[in-house]
Amino acid sequence: MHLPSGDIRRKFSAAMSKMYCTEVPDYQKVIDLVLNVNKGAIDQGSVGLDIDNITEERHGAIRLGKASELSMMRRLFVAMGMHPVGYYDLSVAGIPVHSTAFRPVTLEEIDYCPFRIFTSLLRLDLISDLKLRSAAQDVLDKRSIFSPMLIQQLEKFEKNKGLTKEEAAIFIDELVRTFRWNNEANVSKELYQKLNSSHRLIADVVSFKGPHINHLTPRTLDIDKVQDQMSDVGLNAKAIVEGAPKRKVPILLRQTAFKALEEKVSFVNSLGIWSQGAHTARFGEIEQRGAALTAKGQALYDMLLSKVRVIVTPNPDGSNKNAYKETLEKVFENFPDDLETLKEQKLAYFQYKKSPEGKAANIELSKDNIEENIQKGYVTISPITYEDFLPVSAAGIFQSNLGDAQGQEFTHQSNQKLFETALGGKVLNFYSLYEKMQEASFARICA
């Protein structure tokens, strides 16, 4: 009997959390802090929410070095019901990667286990130093990040259309092992320093034997409170919360993090002689999710955020955080902050439900009378939660961990076709997914 993909995803998420708490002890502080904040928010009136489902890790992030790694990762994630959604070009923020999010795609699967992996592929073509680009390519060409046992389990899944409980346990253990930290680099200290000088993220991807998970992320109901309390529990928080300001109706995604740890690393030269050094990459992130916006809503969000950053761009050291926060709040006054206007202007996606009064009235619903019945209170609306990512916010998190000396700046060169060729398939459009969720919600109450 095959284990459902949602169960494999849930077990994998739990195993990843356990592993990361062991490797990065500060992450346990994040889990505990978020749990306490969420309990407080629910006690104060956020009724109907399950504390475990809310606090559960919503995503992790990995960085891959070559096309074959991305293609194999796509096949592995299928076994857990996770599919590539969205294309994100981070070169727009001077980071030489493009990315997708492997995640569940239906409301039912998201509710069961929302875990996803934000997966980035290194853009070696953006490294201007051709000699350094070639050296990095040579290192990546020689590495193999997937164990024979993991590939064997994957082939069983693809042949049998599923995994037994015992096979799934081996699959999960081997996949988690793929994402473990290994403090022995597979490059010399000299090459590492050259890669690091070009861009710290390049060094992180190329210099190690595998794609160590670089962060995990629980979900909070009050990210501002988490931000204020991080220093109280001994966490070195980034200066600002990425995303929109605090609102009555949260939108999209707001994120913060504790800064990356400096970890000891051993480097080996061509003579097989080892030397000691350090590397900074892994951190802990927290997110608060709000309403999924339509393309129209996203365009308004992007325009307002761009306007903010023309006036003031947040410094990584937080020296202008107050000016940034004030400007953000002022500019985003132009984004409607009530459900009725968001729906009327088609800025967000919604779920429809019959209220108890609507059920008692035994009304027949249609597109012609839905608005009337919303006004009567027979139908309620609630925003569909945004389950995806924001390139500017992701870049802000990355930059806060890279420090001031970022190395080479990269020209914005979006290339979704190149990414999908490496992936071995198309990425799904998240607007279409949210549209289908909204339509399915409406069809259910009209049935």
Least trusted range by pLDDT, from 40-49, 81-90, 228-237, 410-419: 40-49
Name the band, by pLDDT with cuts 50, 70 and 90, for residue 51.
low
What three-state secondary structure class fits 381?
strand
Inside any domain, residue 324: no
CATH assignment at residue 425: 3.10.180.80
Inside any domain, residue 176: yes
**Same structural domain for residues 372 and 437?**
no
- Asked whether the beta carbons of 198 and 268 are under 8 A apart, the reply is no
**Same structural domain for residues 379 and 412?**
no
The token pair that represents 56 in the structure block = 């559960």
Inside any domain, residue 103: yes
**Same structural domain for residues 25 and 91?**
yes
The pLDDT assigned to 413 comes to 64
Q: How many CB atoms lie within 10 A of CB 139?
A: 18
Q: String of b and e for 52-86 (b: at least 16 CB within 10 Å)?
A: eebbbbbbbbbbbbbebbbebbbebbbbbbbbbbb
Inside any domain, residue 52: yes
266 pLDDT more than 80: yes
Phi-psi region of 256 (alpha: psi -120 to 50; beta: other; left: phi over 0): beta
- Asked whether the beta carbons of 406 and 399 are under 8 A apart, the reply is yes
pLDDT digits (tens, 9 = 90+) for 386-412: 999 987 766 666 666 655 445 455 555
**Sign for the pseudo-dihedral over CA of 431, 41, 255, 301:** positive
> pTM, whole model, 2 decimals?
0.89
pLDDT digits (tens, 9 = 90+) for 286-328: 999 999 999 999 999 999 999 998 998 888 777 888 999 999 9
**Same structural domain for residues 70 and 123?**
yes
- Asked whether the beta carbons of 252 and 291 are under 8 A apart, the reply is yes
At position 64, the amino acid (one-letter code) is L
Greatest C-alpha distance within the chain: 82
Distance of CA 284 to the CA centre of its chain: 12
Inside any domain, residue 426: yes
**Same structural domain for residues 91 and 125?**
yes
The pLDDT assigned to 404 comes to 46
Question: Which helix (H) or strand (E) covers residue 208, if one does?
Answer: none
The pLDDT assigned to 49 comes to 55
Inside any domain, residue 168: yes
**Same structural domain for residues 379 and 424?**
no
- Asked whether the beta carbons of 171 and 150 are under 8 A apart, the reply is yes
pLDDT digits (tens, 9 = 90+) for 216-259: 999 999 999 999 998 899 888 888 899 999 999 999 999 998 87
Instruction: Return contacts of 72-76, CB within 8 angstroms, 24+ apart.
Output: 72/146, 73/102, 73/119, 74/102, 74/423, 74/424, 74/425, 75/154, 75/158, 75/424, 76/146, 76/150, 76/154, 76/175
Q: What's the CA gap between 414 and 193, in Å, rounded?
A: 27
**Same structural domain for residues 82 and 157?**
yes
**Same structural domain for residues 426 and 369?**
no
Q: Give me the count of residues in the chain.
A: 447
DSSP state letter for 332: G
**Same structural domain for residues 218 and 355?**
no
**Same structural domain for residues 219 and 354?**
no
Domain boundaries, position 142: 5-223+405-441
**β-strands 253-258, 284-289 pairing:** antiparallel
Q: String of b and e for 31-43 (b: at least 16 CB within 10 Å)?
A: bebbbebbeebbe
Inside any domain, residue 66: yes
The token pair that represents 155 in the structure block = 């082939």
**Same structural domain for residues 50 and 89?**
yes
How buried is residue 141: exposed, middle or buried, by Cβ count under 10 Å (0-12/13-18/19+)?
exposed
Distance of CA 298 to the CA centre of its chain: 18
How buried is residue 364: exposed, middle or buried, by Cβ count under 10 Å (0-12/13-18/19+)?
exposed
Number of independent structural domains in the chain:
2
Inside any domain, residue 431: yes
Most confident of 70-84, 178-192, 270-284: 70-84
**Same structural domain for residues 16 and 160?**
yes
